[in-house]
Structure 1
Amino acid sequence: MLAPRRLPSLNGIRAFEAAARTGSFVAAAAELNVTPAAISRLVRLLELRLGIALFARHANRLVPTAAGLAYQAGLTRILDDAARLTGQVVAMAGAKVVTVGVGPTFAVRWLIPRLLDLQRQEPEIEVRVVTGGQTVPFSDGWSCGIRLGDGNWPGLEATPLFPADLLPVCAPAMAARIGDIPALARETLIRVAHAPDDWSRWLAAMGAAGIRAGGPVFDYYGQALQAALDGIGVAMGVRPYIDDDLAAGRLVAPFPRSVSKDMRWYLVHHAGREAEPGFAAFRRWLIAACKFRANGLDR
């Protein structure tokens, strides 16, 4: 038989955590919709229960003790987890809002063009696309994220979607004059700031490690690909970013060989999301869409 938990008053815990986090009884009272006197009383009772001072009280300010700082840090994490878990449980009641965190290029070049298919298959799902998924930490406010990496994100479940392959691309007119690697070296090789090794990886695989890319640098793949579309130079494309442009003939790959980036695209989310109807439907659709692409049937 498990021993009963020995916990102090949860009201006292909430009052202390809010006061320590906000720095005052007044701010904590406003957050918890009670009076400052009530916050002060609850914190005092908690200190008596624990047998230790959590605050050093001064005339015009509230300073947590060392014990108070350690207690607040742990409590804030626990209460944040409880709030997130509560949101997940409420979402299980049937809400079908899915917030997807993705990088801006993935959103524009792969996800958004396929949302119409999702709407046709799952008309009750409301998808909210939030960009920044590749450059900011995973947000607890997101249902899921689509990220490029090695699949190791502590605290998150990761489902592999498809590999990231490197392939140079350019406008059709430019591709017509690039017949070999020396001809490629005479063109402007467009770079992406956060992926400085893409060109060297592909060139090394082609036996041309001595060539150095020295063209303009852009923050995102989407910007680099737009520059290629405009005829500025050759961009290093990453699948699936380039698939639609290649299929439509807007971009051309002068060389047929692609090289693995040694990363994959993953769907990442907190454990337990699978029980939410909206997320479960989005996940099924996404995995099917990725398999569709892998079989060469994607548009």
Structure 2
Amino acid sequence: MSRQTPTLKGLRAFEEVYLCGSYTKAAKALNVQQPAISYQIKRLEEDLETTLFEKAQGRLAPTLHAHELYDTVSRAFGSIRKTADKLRQADKLPTISIATYPGIGTYWLSPRLPNLSENLGVRTKVVTLVKNDDLLREEVDCWIVFGKGVWPGFDAKLLIQEEVCPVASPVVAQQISAAGGNIVPEGIALIEQEDPENRWLSWDAWQDQAQGNWQLPDKRIVVNDHGLALHLALTGAGLALGWVGIIQDLIKGQSLVQLSPDLVTSKSGYWLLGPRGFFETVEGQRIFDVLTGHHQVDGQD
């Protein structure tokens, strides 16, 4: 079967001639000269090796092949027009843009986006970056950033308190359980999040505060993003520290297993940031309400 497609101009001219029953009327509808239409139809007939229109009693009549072609062309152009109209309307809809980390965007924010769009009647756009400085340089409507709630020039409300626990895939969790529950067998890696700014709770901090006498492995995998750490844990690459507020759905769905009941917390967390006065607006408060479902403590800045 040939993969050669007739020209778009030829098919568009054919559709208009078929509907108008006249080269002249088709040319007027397409805002071109009549000879241009005649030329396109002639080229199309040569390409398809068939006659598409015949003159009968002074009128232009489509042939059987023309009827067959029109059925296909009209459906194709109809789908294109429908999609184009949808895209045009979408561009007219207001958009709420949020900048955050890849992990938050993937595992916590994305499941909430449909509800956010529905409640606000807008499209939602998410920008993900790893570093705070890069996030806060993004020209968006609001940000989800980790810290203690103090960002000069921004208003902030707490979304998720920092509370961490070790997690792993069911297979890795079973291996650890078989080894004694708090002893990580040799060969299983500890997934660490690189944190030169000491923003997040580390494995050392968790081990110091945990009640169980955990023996952590020397084998380490270091990544620069919490989302990547969770992804590696989900694939069975090792055990990671998970932020409880972010991974609740993964634990509930048994994609990840909480390895210890010990939860270590800090004064930090993930905050929703907006420009000054953001939460005094209906839109700002509604974004916060949809994302949390309840009121949290205001940040000081």
Same fold (TM over 0.5): yes
Structure 1: which amino acid aligns with 2:208? A
Corresponding residue for 1:128? 125
Distance 2:282 2:295 in 1: 20
Distance 1:290 1:232 in 2: 37
Deviation at 1:155, TM superposition (A): 1.1
Deviates more, 1:176-185 or 1:243-252: 176-185
Does the aligned pair in 2 maintain the 1:133–1:145 contact within 8 Å? no
Among 243, 257, 282, the residue aligned to 2:262:
257
Deviations 1:111-169 (A, max 9, x none): 011112223333x1222211127432513622111111011111111111220111111
Distance 2:234 2:293 in 1: 29
Distance 1:268 1:115 in 2: 17
- Structure 1: segments with no counterpart, 5+ residues: 1-94, 292-299
Corresponding residue for 1:103? 101
What percent of counterpart residues are identical? 24
Equivalent residue pairs, number: 196
Distance 1:138 1:190 in 2: 27
Deviations 1:160-185 (A, max 9, x none): 12201111111112212323465226
Deviations 1:186-212 (A, max 9, x none): 432111112685100111112548856
Distance 1:133 1:188 in 2: 23
Distance 2:295 2:103 in 1: 17
Corresponding residue for 1:201? 205
Corresponding residue for 1:8? none
Normalising by structure 1, report the TM-score: 0.58
Normalising by structure 2, report the TM-score: 0.58
Corresponding residue for 1:230? 235
Distance 2:161 2:112 in 1: 18
Over aligned residue pairs, what C-alpha RMSD do you find?
Answer: 2.7
Does the aligned pair in 1 maintain the 2:163–2:244 contact within 8 Å? yes
Q: Secondary structure at the match of 1:216?
A: strand
Among 242, 251, 257, the residue aligned to 2:247:
242
Q: How does 1:1-299 map to 2 (within 5 A)?
A: 96-122=94-120, 124-132=121-129, 134-135=131-132, 136-139=134-137, 141-179=139-177, 180=180, 182-184=182-184, 186=186, 187-194=188-195, 198-206=202-210, 208=213, 211=216, 214-274=219-279, 276-288=281-293
Structure 1: which amino acid aligns with 2:204? S
Cα distance, 1:118–1:225 mapped onto 2, change above 3 Å: same
- Structure 2: segments with no counterpart, 5+ residues: 1-92, 297-301
Distance 1:244 1:290 in 2: 21
Deviation at 1:239, TM superposition (A): 2.6
Distance 1:197 1:284 in 2: 27
Distance 1:113 1:282 in 2: 14
Distance 2:109 2:207 in 1: 29
Does the aligned pair in 1 maintain the 2:230–2:242 contact within 8 Å? yes
Distance 1:116 1:254 in 2: 32
